[in-house]
């Protein structure tokens, strides 16, 4: 495989510091292309692309949810799991303030603030996942079990198909 010249982001620094193996992938970022675009570019299943979602509770407490690219988060089920009234998506500005990453380039690794991380349980059943490396158009391939070496993760089961109601 040819050497890829990739950005050294806070996420990459964390992986290197913890000696976690990863594979960098650069792709053509398309505004509003989402995980479908990156799956097509990398020629992998959208299910194996893991999106990093920055959300907030009703009391404005930020958190991260890691979810398969072809699934959505049931905000109602997540709120129930966390025993809060409501969960909502963070604004791009707040997400950047919490994580230090630009919307579309948010990684769960190396965030500016220490945020609780919740991951859809079935992510750990995938042989390999691809998550944002901390810059638009940059994903890292990693063994999902290695995420536990880098992050304190709580598993949840809040994924729904896009056509299900929330």
pLDDT, tens digit (0-9, with 9 covering 90-100), for 72-131: 999 999 999 999 999 999 999 999 999 999 999 999 999 999 999 999 999 999 999 999
At 3 the pLDDT is 60
- Tell me the whole-structure pTM to 2 decimals: 0.94
DSSP state of 162: T
CB 151 within 8 A of CB 36: no
Compute the Cα dihedral for 82, 63, 162, 68 and give only its sign: negative
DSSP state of 161: -
With bands split at pLDDT 50, 70 and 90, how would you rate the model's confidence at 66? very high
Region label for 149, one of left (φ > 0), alpha (ψ between -120 and 50) or beta (otherwise): alpha
Per-residue DSSP letters for 56-91? Answer: EETT--EEEEEEETT-EE-HHHHHHHHT-S-EEEPP
User: What is the tens place of the pLDDT at every residue in 8-54?
Assistant: 999 999 999 999 999 999 998 888 888 999 999 999 999 999 999 99
Give, in order, the Cα–Cα distances in Å from 92 to each of 95, 103, 106, 156, 166: 5, 6, 10, 24, 21
At 71 the pLDDT is 97
At 166 the pLDDT is 45
Which CATH number applies to 10-160? 3.90.960.10
Cα–Cα nearest to 144, from 161, 121, 117, 166: 121
Please check the confidence at residue 2 and state whether its pLDDT lies above 80.
no
**Residues whose CB falls within 8 Å of the CB of residue 124, separated by 6 or more in sequence, listed in order:** 144, 145, 147, 155
Tokens 């063994």 label which residue? 143
State the chain's mean pLDDT as an integer. Answer: 94
- Domain map (residue ranges) of the chain: 10-160
At 150 the pLDDT is 94
């Amino acid at each position: 495989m040819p050497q890829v010249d990739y950005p050294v982001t806070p996420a990459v620094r964390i992986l290197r510091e913890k000696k976690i193996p990863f594979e960098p992938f650069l792709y053509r970022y398309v505004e509003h292309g989402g995980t479908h675009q990156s799956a097509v570019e990398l020629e992998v299943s959208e299910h194996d692309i893991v999106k990093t979602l920055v959300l907030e509770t009703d009391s404005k407490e930020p958190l991260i949810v890691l979810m398969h690219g072809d699934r959505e988060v049931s905000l109602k089920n997540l709120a129930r799991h966390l025993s809060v009234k409501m969960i909502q998506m963070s604004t791009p500005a707040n997400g950047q303030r919490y994580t230090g990453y630009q919307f579309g380039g948010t990684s769960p690794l190396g965030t500016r603030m220490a945020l609780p991380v919740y991951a859809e349980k079935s992510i750990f059943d995938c042989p390999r996942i691809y998550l944002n490396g901390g810059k638009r158009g940059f994903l890292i391939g990693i063994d999902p079990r290695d995420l536990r070496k880098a992050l304190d993760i709580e598993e949840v089961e809040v994924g729904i198909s896009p056509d299900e109601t929330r």
